[in-house]
Amino acid sequence: MTNVLAVVVYCILTVVIAITIFVACIRDRHKSVTKYLIRLCIIAIGWQICAMLHFLVHDEAFSLWVFDAKLVFVAFAPVQLLMLSVRFYSSKSSRRTTVAFGILCVIPIITVVLAVTSPLHGLIRAEIFFEQFQPLRILRNVRGLWFWVHSGYSYVIMVASIIVILFNHAKLPRGFRIPSFLVALGSGIALFSNIFVVFTPYSEHIDLTLVGLSIAIVFTYAGIAISDESSILIQAFDNIFTYLEDYIFILNNRRSVIEMNPAARQWLHALNINLENMSFDALLDKLRRFTNETMPCVEPLEQDFHLVLDQQISHYSLNERPINDHSGRLLGTFAIFTDITRYKLLIERIEQSAGIDPLTNLGNRRGYEQALENLDKPSSLPFSVILGDVNELKAVNDSKGHAAGDTLLRVIAQILCDACPEGAHAYRIGGDEFVMLLPFTGAETAEEVVAAIRAAAAQKNAETSSHDVSIALGVATKETEDQDLIKCIAQADSNMYQNKLNDRRAKRGQGGSGARFS
């Protein structure tokens, strides 16, 4: 190795870095990370120029000064490498990042001042002189106190850079990890070469730290150059939280809301809820004020809300899922409210088209009409029809809420279902209207069914004194083929109406106050 050969090596490294800058400016100048790469390249070129001057100049004192002056560039290389690593995984810039960069530059600035004034003190080099000047310059170099301070700081910054890379690398899908791997490899080479030079008896013929940095720049740029797909993915992760229409809340371990997406903010504003200084559980309590019922959880972390807003019912599904780090430690929770109103309506339409009433699980009007058509034939005679109308349902809805009214309807439906003889079916054909179709059933048996229904309702009232389960019933029977089934149904309806009037007169005579269901 000679001085000329050392200069040739540094010239090759300079050309490689210059080509990297040229290609990056032409091909990838639109990427925010490219400017950080170019800054690192300029630092490396400045370092290389100082290294070449060290081997080219004939004045020994100037050669020694240039050897220390290269620390002007060396000092800022680790910080710039860290900033490049951070920017590679995030396109966002903030005032906080700028302040952090300024703080990180304090020690490098001190190093620069001490490097430029190195002949005046021994903080950078406690002892330095040439053991040989030709054909290769060999130094006797005893490092000073500040050199070790600067080196320790540089290692911390470079390790931080690798930690940033590994942390973000682990979050990327496997198909997008190659660019990240190249950046990690570059930082690893830079760190390893630096450690090798400082902690081995390597004689500084060629600055391996500079060689390592130059190789690291090439690998880093290779990662940047093929990172378009990864950039799209990372940008998508940044944007998906903003643009999702679901209402997303990020909770810490104390279940305080630390962030929410814009859709959630707009939703709470529409509900006139101020989330400031409010826990997520307090938010759920407020939401329940808008609901007439909270459906049971399908899973421990899932529940459905039915919110009544402006006389309209909106359905929401709430899912909570843990946020864990890579070791499994719980960091917090994210909660997602999904508007499922459209799906609920679709399910109801499907159930209606299938002939099932979603509230009571009895047949609906469509099923009733189809059953009438199928049963209105001589083989079904005698054919009885029982019509029922729930008493005081409107009063229950007005005084106790629709949830109580729905519960009353489900109780009545169960009573009718239990009272159905074999071959008979019950249907809910309106808000408070029920019908039972009893083929092969005469008038006497139909009256027994009516008596059983009334007895079951009385039993319910005896079991729960605060409840008044009451239904007006009317029965009619088609005995012969020439009878009109529609007229029989009309007769049953008339009988039911008369039964309802009789019930009202009886309650007024007893001083009753109407339905007591809650």
pLDDT the model gives residue 299: 42
Q: What CA–CA distance (Å, rounded) separates 222 from 16?
A: 13
Is residue 229 scored above 60 in pLDDT?
A: no
Q: How many CA atoms lie within 13 A of 179 on its CB side?
A: 22
Domain with 249, as residue range(s), is 244-344
54-96: per-residue pLDDT in tens?
889 988 889 888 888 888 898 999 999 999 888 887 766 677 7
pLDDT at 390: 93
Average pLDDT on 251-262 reads: 89
What pLDDT does residue 294 have?
A: 42
Distance CA 276, CA 242 (A): 20
pLDDT at 232 over 70: no
Q: Do both 276 and 403 map to the same domain? A: no
CA distance 357 to 351: 7
Whole-angstrom distance, CA of residue 346 vs CA of residue 397:
25
Determine, yes or no, domain membership for 486.
yes
Q: Between these two residues, 182 and 11, which has the higher pLDDT value?
A: 11
Q: How far apart are CA 360 and CA 358, in angstroms?
A: 6
Would 86 be classed as within a structural domain? yes
Same domain, 214 and 276: no
In a domain, 256, yes or no: yes
pLDDT at residue 178 is higher than 60: yes
Asked if the model's pLDDT at residue 426 lies above 90, the reply is: yes
Q: What pLDDT digit, counting tens, does each position of 197-217 carry?
A: 777 765 557 788 888 889 999
pLDDT value at residue 301? 55
Q: Are residues 310 and 179 in the same domain?
A: no
pLDDT at position 402, please?
84
59 and 208 belong to one structural domain = yes
pLDDT of residue 283: 87
Q: What is the CATH number of the domain that holds 302?
A: 3.30.450.20
Is 90 exceeded by the pLDDT of residue 46?
yes
Last residue of a domain, one of 198, 216, 236: 236
Say if residue 170's pLDDT is above 90: no
Instruction: Please tell me the predicted confidence (pLDDT) of residue 109.
Output: 94
Most confident listed range (254-268, 299-313, 501-515):
254-268
Q: Is pLDDT above 80 for 493?
A: yes
pLDDT-derived band at 126, boundaries 50, 70, 90 = confident
Q: Are residues 64 and 15 in the same domain?
A: yes
State the pLDDT at residue 297. Answer: 38
Q: Indicate if the pLDDT at residue 512 is higher than 50.
A: no
Q: Is residue 323 part of a domain?
A: yes
Mean pLDDT over each residue of the chain, to the nearest integer: 84
- C-beta neighbour count of 419 within 10 angstroms: 21
Burial class (CB in 10 A: 0-12, 13-18, 19+), 165: buried
pLDDT for 77 equals 92
Greater pLDDT, 3 or 505: 3
Residue ending a domain, among 344, 367, 400, is 344
pLDDT top residue among 5 and 349: 5
Residues 185 and 252 in one domain: no
* CA dihedral over 317, 323, 329, 332, signed as positive or negative: negative
Counting the structural domains of the chain, the total is 3
What pLDDT is attached to residue 514?
A: 40
Highest-scoring range by mean pLDDT, 166-170, 220-224, 305-309, 384-388: 384-388
Answer yes or no: is 452 within a domain.
yes
At residue 513, the pLDDT reads 41
Residue 350 lies in a domain: no
State whether 283 and 366 are in the same domain.
Answer: no
Q: What is the pLDDT of residue 309?
A: 66
Is residue 517 assigned to a domain? Answer: no
336 and 360: one domain? no
Percent pLDDT > 70 in the chain is 87
- Please tell me whether residues 225 and 122 are part of one structural domain: yes
Are residues 114 and 137 both part of a single domain? yes
Q: How confident is the model at residue 240 (pLDDT cuts 50, 70, 90)?
A: confident
User: How does pLDDT run across 365-403, given as a tens digit for each residue?
Assistant: 888 988 898 888 888 899 999 999 998 888 888 888 888
pLDDT digits (tens, 9 = 90+) for 435-468: 999 999 999 999 999 999 999 998 888 787 556 7
Report if residue 515 sits inside a domain.
Answer: no
Mean pLDDT of 412-423: 92
Residue 41: per-residue pLDDT: 94
The Cα-based distances of 309 to 222, 269, 314, 403 in angstroms read 55, 13, 7, 15
Q: Does residue 108 carry a pLDDT above 60?
A: yes
For residue 498, what is the domain's CATH number? 3.30.70.270
Q: Which pLDDT score is estimated for 344?
A: 80
Q: What is the pLDDT of residue 300?
A: 44
* Residue 471 sits in the same domain as residue 435: yes
Pairing of strands 138-143, 125-132: antiparallel
Indicate whether 232 and 251 sit together in one domain: no
Per-position DSSP letters for 7-42, written without gaps between them = HHHHHHHHHHHHHHHHHHHHHSTTSHHHHHHHHHHH
Q: Which of residues 185, 205, 236 is at a domain's end?
A: 236
Is the pLDDT reported for residue 298 higher than 60? no
